[in-house]
């Protein structure tokens, strides 16, 4: 079945550091890929997505590129801020429906 594997956390960085959170997937067919973010005390919200190979999703300074050859969708940001502290979930959907399969989440802590 479909699955998503992402790096375990917590990841602790200093402000302005470079961020990478790794995500790899296993799926039948051609999935769409997503990053969701959950800020403390809030619901999950879509951060970015990519629907086909080599697409780059971007939002709020975050980027991720859909790499079919390595089945990966790593999340990156050049300079993190304290306000980026949250839990980040990688997810995919396949087929014609809109069912999401999530990874286990990676907690990011950014310190001054």
Partner 1 sequence: EAGVAQSPRYKIIEKRQSVAFWCNPISGHATLYWYQQILGQGPKLLIQFQNNGVVDDSQLPKDRFSAERLKGVDSTLKIQPAKLEDSAVYLCASSLSGSRDNEQFFGPGTRLTVL
Nearer to partner 1, 45 or 81 (CB): 45
User: What are the residues binding partner 1 (CB under 8 A)?
Assistant: 4, 32, 36, 41-46, 49, 51, 89, 91, 93, 95-105
At residue 83, what are phi and psi to the nearest 5 degrees? -70, -10
- Token pair 């971007």 is at which residue? 58
CB of 31 to partner 1, least distance (A): 9
CB of 4 to partner 1, least distance (A): 7
Check: CB of residue 58 under 8 Å from CB of residue 9: no
Nearer to partner 1, 62 or 103 (CB): 103
Candidates 1, 2, 12, 4; CA nearest to 105 is 4
CB of 75 to partner 1, least distance (A): 15
Give the integer Cα–Cα distance in Å for 92 and 94. Answer: 7
Nearer to partner 1, 18 or 68 (CB): 68
Give the integer Cα–Cα distance in Å for 49 and 16. Answer: 24
CB of 45 to partner 1, least distance (A): 7
């Amino acid at each position: 079945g479909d699955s998503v594997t992402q790096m375990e956390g917590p990841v602790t960085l200093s402000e302005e550091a470079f961020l990478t959170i790794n995500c790899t997937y296993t799926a039948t067919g051609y999935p769409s890929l997503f990053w969701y973010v959950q800020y403390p005390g809030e619901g999950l919200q879509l951060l970015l997505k990519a629907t086909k190979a080599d697409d780059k999703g971007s939002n709020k300074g975050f980027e991720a590129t859909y790499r079919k050859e390595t089945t990966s969708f790593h999340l990156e940001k050049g300079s993190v801020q304290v306000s980026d502290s949250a839990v980040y979930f990688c997810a995919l959907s396949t087929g014609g429906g809109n069912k999401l399969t999530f990874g286990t989440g990676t907690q990011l802590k950014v310190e001054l």
